[in-house]
Amino acid sequence: MDPKPLVTLANVTKSFGPVQVIKGVSVSVYPGKVQVLLGENGAGKSTLIKMLAGVHQPDSGEIIMDGQAVSLPNTRTAEQHGIATIHQELNLVGTMSIAENVMLGRTPRKFGMVDRKELRRKAREALALIGLTIDVDTLVNELGIAQQQLVEIAKALSIHAKILILDEPTAALTRHETEHLFKVVEDLRNHGVGMLFISHHLDEIAEIGDSVTVLRDGEFVAEVPGSTPEDELVKLMVGRAIDEQFPRQKNSQPKASLILEVSKLGSKDKFKDISFTVKAGEIVGIAGLVGAGRTEVLRAIAGADKYDHGSVRIRNKPLQRGSVEAAIKAGIGHVPEDRKVQGLVLDASVNDNLGYATLQETSRFGLADFSGQKSRAESVAKTLRIRMHDIEQPIRSLSGGNQQKAVFGRWILAQSTLLLLDEPTRGVDVGAKVEIYELMNAITAAGGAIVMVSSELPEVLGMSDRILVMRDGEIAGELDAREATQDKVMTLAARDTDEDL
């Protein structure tokens, strides 16, 4: 095997304003090898691949190809050097056919007109490289994400890419689709294509990676073989050992005080007949497939949506229907599914974002309590270990995990006693995940209660005391977490379908 790398980033650095995001990192991509980039959000992975794609230029250090230092001032030059990037957001024109997309910018012409025959032939040739056999006249819109991704890879290969950068290609794929992608990757490996692969799923690394470069805070940490055990990788990534992925002390003692009582809750076309209770100190997980109505139930309790039937009682008092304000007054805190769209005002400061739920109640004569708010926010940020350089910094610039902690922090400021969590660790990296779990423990230990909706079964199993499984808008069953297994949950969640998850 050729030991000469296709491309090497040698000791590169990059700063944006005062912040140095890459501090002397070196990575090489070898022909026929999959090099994995691993690191938490904000570790510098995307800046590195943007250097190879010609989007960013290193401040110092070199990009070496064939023993020569090269400069990649723009994406076009990068392409000319045989480097192609498959981004998370795909660069395809949905309203054009596969053939047109594959040949975009290089459309074959005859007498000044599009040579359709040649267009289709070349596109078919490109698809054949990755064993894809779909009609090249199909519109890209009609394809699923996975197939669109493959079309993009075919497009990259048709311009003779030697180096393929795959930025979290599996994030939006099902297990089955991921397997198909990996077969394609295997095939490309045999054809001598070098690949740089980014993924948050640690289990995929062993499956596909030849070598792993670990980054932390913009610094090179280690380069280890792909077969390195997961907990070892996590340790390198986070910088400390994580003893337990799910630090929940399962509590079996029955609790006296009832916090939440949902009875016969129903909402047209969303869910029906939902009844359950949550006691102080308890974490109740709600599992189920996407679309089973979990989020809708949570939103109904939180007052975000109205419901048609049934009632919600908090500490034996009825809760007004469809009023977020009433829910907050009753001690409910809602961490919504999509923090960027529903949780945060991204242009506002960390301070402001922490304070929205308490803005009204801490005010005097309609005037906002600025100094009080700031000191409360600072203390909560410290407790939750929200990593930032200034509480007045826009929350947009924080990593996903720290943003999520800020949404939690808002409810801690509001002294909420019942937290409704919707996918609480989505897009959050390993280190911050555990911190969020510990926070959940602290809340329940202090007498609070939590209802958690999550699509990550290990999380539901690991953190809940009880698990409700929803299917088609109804509760299909309840399991004690100590006895629950993935199989048991999935049987309840998808009695007639065995696809996915």
Partner 1 sequence: MSTATIDASRRRFDVKRFLANNGALVGLLILCLGLFIATPDFLTGPNLLNIGIQVSTVAVLAFGMTFVIVAGGIDLSVGSVAALSAMVSSWLYVGSGVSGWIALIAGLVTGLLVGVVNGLVSAYGKLPSFIATLAMLSVARGLTLVISDGRPIKTAPEVSFLGGNLGPIPMPIIVLVASAIIASFLLNRTVLGRSMYAVGGNAEAARLSGLPVKRIVVIVFGLAGLFAALAGLLLAGRLDSAQPQAAAGYELDAIAAVVIGGASLAGGLGRISGTFVGALVLVVIRNGLNLLNVTSFWQQVVIGVVIALAVGIDVLRRKTRNA
Q: Which residues bind partner 1 (CB under 8 A)?
A: 16-20, 217-218, 302, 304, 324-325, 327-328, 334, 336, 341-348, 352, 356-357, 359-360, 363, 366-368, 370, 389-390, 394, 396-397, 410
Identify which of residues 32 and 394 has a Cβ nearer to partner 1 in the complex. 394
End-to-end Cα distance, the chain? 38
Cβ–Cβ under 8 Å, residues 103 and 156: no
Q: Which is nearer to partner 1, 3 or 17 (CB)?
A: 17
What are 265's strand-pairing partners?
A: 274
Which CB, 219 or 472, lies closer to partner 1? 219
H helices, E strands: number in the chain: 16, 22
Q: Which long-range contacts (CB under 8 A, 24 or more apart) does 21-25 make?
A: 21/47, 21/218, 22/47, 22/48, 22/51, 22/58, 22/218, 23/217, 23/218, 23/219, 24/61, 24/219, 24/220, 25/213, 25/215, 25/218, 25/219, 25/220
CB-nearer residue toward partner 1: 240 or 389: 389
Classify residue 155 as exposed, middle or buried by CB count within 10 Å of its CB (0-12, 13-18, 19+): buried
Q: Cα–Cα distance between 52 and 471 in angstroms, integer?
A: 45
For residue 362, the minimal CB distance to partner 1 (Å) is 9
Q: Specify the residue, 40 or 282, whose C-beta has the smaller distance to partner 1.
A: 40
Is residue 451 a contact partner of residue 419, using CB atoms and an 8 Å limit?
Answer: yes
Amino acid at 449: A
- Are 343 and 400 in contact by the 8 Å Cβ rule? The answer is no
Quote the least distance from Cβ 19 to partner 1, whole Å.
6
Q: How far is the CB of 110 from partner 1 (least distance, A)?
A: 42
DSSP assignment of 70-100 equals: E---SHHHHHHTTEEEE-SS----TTSBHHH
| Cβ proximity to partner 1, 12 vs 161, nearer residue | 12
φ/ψ of 336, rounded to 5, equals: -75, 170
Least distance CB 167 / partner 1 (angstroms): 18
Least Å distance, CB 9 to partner 1, is 20
Nearest CB to partner 1, comparing residues 81 and 216: 216
CB 374 → partner 1: shortest distance, Å?
13
Closer residue to partner 1 (CB): 1 or 341: 341
C-beta of 325: minimal distance to partner 1 in Å? 5
Q: How far is the CB of 12 from partner 1 (least distance, A)?
A: 17
Q: Are 133 and 125 in contact (CB under 8 A)?
A: no
